[in-house]
């Protein structure tokens, strides 16, 4: 969450987190790369607009008005420079002066060849075991951040992948209200509100960036898992991808996969909640996963259908009041999976993103733990691809993204917790290829017809057919009539002729011969 340089007593006391880019003349001489025009140290901007009614403990949580409980000065970078000391480039830009455009392609995991699969799995594992070069995590609340002696900042190193796990945990953790009091759970800075899509987008961008730096490969892109193929199996649970099922324990990963060796972070959630501590970088047990194995909840033993994605993309309004998990006709609540795929809110429904999580039935299905299972990355890149397609189709219409009264953390201008330097939800509400330097290689399913549409089409078709039959019948009658009329004058002539010849009443036999 914070740069290592800022995890000091001085930095915390001053509230300033503006590390040097290149301290030529000693510490503090090139804050934010000011000497080369990369950026400068400025006051942090926070969103003071009111949040929604779900959170009732204002003043009790370090995540309110993020990040000013910790720091009120940060780097603001110029042009395409970015990062905690303006030492890197904004997404979509690269090169020493951040002037070269780049585009990273995020591909379907199943389309990777054997070598690409091996490289991706190895890269994830390297991220799991490599200490984050820049970031450390707080292991105590602000109140206790200086440690028992008041002089020992409570921060820890953490690996690149575990930071990804920790950031998600920190955004969903309950509010500690004091020893002996129940922690407050009606708070979630990354789910059940409009920031669901923007928060997870930035979360992935940050992991992708960290992995690019680790691999020294600026073209590295995170793949995605299309969880809505219409098959109710985990098709990426193979030993050369996310790991097959163990033959010895249905809820473990096969030992042929490196992921069977991964250990889970942030397991002791009850301890954190009762003691008021924060998850640290200590790992616990193995990843648990039992796809489609939740016999007690048959509803989550299936995955979404392609049609569900198509329907969700038809919901044209980004979000609707109360901007929460009970919003109806909201694209965000539909892709998050609290509404049915057509957008109608139904408390009994789990669809799309939520359904994919619950289908995993284990570590990946519990919000405080889910990123420990690497499937999380791929599930969320696909969810982000759906969001990006929505942004493209509806010209990134932000008008229904609320500026105020969204659940805490979810207002449009709120800085997303616990990212550093501060970044707002607003900044992620842009089409990715043009603004963030990545795109998805994906084909979207066409929408099947609704029953009402099918009935309308059937009625119109029937009416057209009836009209054609009537027109044809009228034609036949007319042709027949014309034919009859053609014969009529001959008979009339004959009558005329006979009457001329016989000058009296012709017998019937005479008249027809
Ligand atoms: O990790 C997650 C797990 C989830 C479970 C649900 C649910 O709908 O019950 N939602 C989830 C979101 C997650 O991010």
| 326 C-alpha to ligand 1 centroid (Å) | 15
Structure-block tokens of residue 238: 């193979």
Mutate to test the pocket of ligand 1, among 188, 354, 361 (most ligand atoms within 8 A of CB): 354
Task: Please give the distance of CA 344 from its chain centroid, rounded to a whole number.
Answer: 19
Q: Which atom of ligand 1 is nearest to the CA of 168?
A: 14
Q: What is the pLDDT along the chain (513 residues), one digit of tens a residue?
A: 999 999 999 999 999 999 999 988 899 999 999 999 999 999 999 999 999 999 999 999 999 999 999 999 999 999 999 999 999 999 999 999 999 999 999 999 999 999 999 999 999 999 999 999 999 999 999 999 999 999 999 999 999 999 999 999 999 999 999 999 999 999 999 999 999 999 999 999 999 999 999 999 999 999 999 999 999 999 999 999 999 999 999 999 999 999 999 999 999 999 999 999 999 999 999 999 999 999 999 999 999 999 999 999 999 999 999 999 999 999 999 999 999 999 999 999 999 999 999 999 999 999 999 999 999 999 999 999 999 999 999 999 999 999 999 999 999 999 999 999 999 999 999 999 999 999 999 999 987 655 555 666 567 667 777 777 767 777 677 767 766 665 554 444 443 443 344 343 433 333 332
The angle at the Cα of 205, spanning 200 to 209, to the nearest 5 degrees, equals 150
**Alpha-carbon distance 154 to 158, whole Å?**
13
Mutate to test the pocket of ligand 1, among 169, 191, 264, 333 (most ligand atoms within 8 A of CB): 191
Structure-block tokens of residue 342: 């057509």
**Alpha-carbon distance 361 to 403, whole Å?**
36
Helix 195-215 crosses helix 114-129 at what angle (to 10 degrees)?
100
The residue whose CA has the least distance to atom 10 of ligand 1 is 354
> Could you tell me if 364 and 253 are in contact, meaning their C-beta atoms sit under 8 angstroms apart?
no
**Alpha-carbon distance 300 to 291, whole Å?**
9
The answer, yes or no, to whether any atom of ligand 1 lies below 6 A from the CB of 325, is: no
- Judge residue 314's burial from the number of C-beta atoms within 10 Å of its C-beta, 0-12 exposed, 13-18 middle, 19 or more buried: middle
Write down the pLDDT at residue 485: 62
**Alpha-carbon distance 290 to 246, whole Å?**
10
Q: Kindly write down the DSSP assignment for every residue of 59-108, as one continuous string.
A: TS-TTTTTTTTT-SEEEEE-TTEESTTS-EE-TTEESTTS-EE--EEE-B
The residue whose CA has the least distance to atom 14 of ligand 1 is 367
Give the pLDDT confidence of 206-245 residue by residue, as tens digits.
999 999 999 999 999 999 999 999 999 999 999 999 999 9
The angle at the Cα of 75, spanning 70 to 80, to the nearest 5 degrees, equals 140
3-class SS shares of the chain: helix, strand, coil, % to 5: 40, 10, 50
User: Integer distance in angstroms from the first to the last C-alpha of the chain?
Assistant: 113
Structure-block tokens of residue 25: 């003349």
Q: Which atom of ligand 1 is nearest to the CA of 337?
A: 8
Q: Which atom of ligand 1 is nearest to the CA of 364?
A: 1
Between strands 73-77 and 16-17, the pairing is: parallel
| 313 C-alpha to ligand 1 centroid (Å) | 21
| 209 C-alpha to ligand 1 centroid (Å) | 25
| 192 C-alpha to ligand 1 centroid (Å) | 10
The answer, yes or no, to whether any atom of ligand 1 lies below 6 A from the CB of 74, is: no
The answer, yes or no, to whether any atom of ligand 1 lies below 6 A from the CB of 357, is: yes
Write down the pLDDT at residue 466: 74
Q: Kindly write down the DSSP assignment for every residue of 210-260, as one continuous string.
A: HHHHHHT-TT----B----SS--S-TT-STTTT--B-SS-TTSB-TTSGGG
The answer, yes or no, to whether any atom of ligand 1 lies below 6 A from the CB of 85, is: no
Measuring CA to CA, how many Å separate 224 from each of 231, 340, 430, 432? 16, 23, 19, 15
SS3 category, 400? coil
**Alpha-carbon distance 253 to 459, whole Å?**
54
| 365 C-alpha to ligand 1 centroid (Å) | 6
**Which of 38, 35, 22 minimizes the C-alpha distance to 86?**
38
Return the sign of the alpha-carbon dihedral for residues 34, 412, 427, 395.
Answer: negative
Task: Identify the bridge partners of residue 140 per DSSP, sorted by sequence position.
Answer: 277
Mutate to test the pocket of ligand 1, among 340, 367, 378 (most ligand atoms within 8 A of CB): 367
SS3 per residue for 273-327: HHHCECCCCCEEEECCCCCCCCCCCHHHCCCCCHHHHHHHCCCCCCCCCCCCCCC
Interface confidence (ipTM) of the complex: 0.95
Structure-block tokens of residue 455: 């009935």
**Which of 415, 407, 412, 413 minimizes the C-alpha distance to 66?**
415
Q: Which atom of ligand 1 is nearest to the CA of 371?
A: 1
């Amino acid at each position: 969450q914070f740069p290592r340089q800022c995890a000091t007593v001085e930095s915390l006391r001053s509230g300033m987190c503006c590390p040097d880019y290149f301290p030529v003349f000693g510490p503090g001489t090139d804050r934010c790369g000011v000497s080369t025009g990369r950026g400068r140290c400025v006051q942090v901007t926070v969103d003071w607009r009111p949040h929604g009614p779900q959170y009732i403990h204002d003043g009790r949580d370090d995540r309110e008005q993020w990040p000013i409980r910790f720091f009120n000065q940060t780097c603001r970078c110029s042009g395409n420079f970015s990062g905690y000391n303006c030492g890197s480039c904004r997404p979509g830009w690269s090169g020493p002066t951040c002037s070269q455009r780049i585009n990273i392609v995020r591909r379907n995991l199943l389309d990777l060849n054997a070598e690409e699969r091996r490289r991706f799995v190895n890269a994830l594992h390297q991220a799991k075991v490599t200490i984050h070069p820049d970031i450390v995590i707080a292991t105590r609340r602000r109140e206790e951040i200086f440690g028992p002696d008041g002089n020992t900042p409570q921060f820890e190193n953490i690996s690149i992948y575990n930071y990804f796990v920790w950031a998600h945990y920190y955004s969903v953790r309950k509010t500690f209200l004091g020893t002996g009091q129940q922690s407050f759970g009606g708070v979630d800075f990354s789910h059940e509100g409009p920031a669901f899509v923007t928060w997870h987008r930035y979360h992935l961008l940050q992991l992708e960036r960290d992995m690019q730096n680790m691999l020294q490969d600026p073209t590295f892109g995170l793949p995605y898992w299309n969880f809505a193929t219409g098959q109710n199996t985990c098709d990426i649970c193979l030993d050369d991808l996310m790991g097959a099922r163990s033959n010895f324990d249905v809820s473990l990963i096969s030992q042929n996969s490196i992921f069977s060796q991964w250990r889970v972070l942030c397991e002791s959630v009850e301890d954190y909640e009762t003691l008021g501590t924060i998850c640290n970088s200590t790992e616990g047990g193995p990843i648990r996963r039992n796809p489609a194995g939740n016999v007690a909840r048959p509803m989550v033993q299936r995955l979404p259908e392609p049609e569900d994605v198509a329907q969700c993309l038809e919901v044209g309004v980004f979000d609707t009041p109360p901007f929460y998990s009970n919003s109806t006709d909201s694209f965000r609540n539909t892709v998050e999976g609290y509404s049915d795929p057509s957008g109608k809110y139904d408390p009994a429904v789990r669809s799309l993103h939520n359904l994919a999580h619950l289908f995993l039935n284990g570590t990946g299905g519990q919000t405080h733990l889910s990123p420990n299972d690497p499937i999380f990355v791929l599930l969320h890149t696909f969810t982000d691809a759906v969001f990006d397609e929505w942004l493209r189709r509806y010209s990134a219409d932000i008008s229904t993204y609320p500026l105020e009264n969204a659940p805490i953390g979810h207002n449009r201008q709120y800085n997303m917790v616990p990212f550093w330097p501060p970044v707002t939800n607003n900044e992620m509400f842009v089409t990715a290829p043009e603004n963030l330097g990545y795109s998805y290689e994906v084909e979207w399913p066409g929408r099947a017809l609704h029953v009402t549409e099918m009935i309308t089409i059937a009625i119109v078709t029937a009416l057209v057919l009836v009209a054609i039959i009537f027109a044809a019948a009228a034609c036949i009658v007319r042709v027949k009539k014309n034919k009859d009329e053609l014969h009529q004058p001959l008979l009339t002539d004959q009558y005329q002729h006979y009457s001329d010849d016989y000058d009296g009443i012709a017998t019937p036999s005479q008249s027809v011969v």
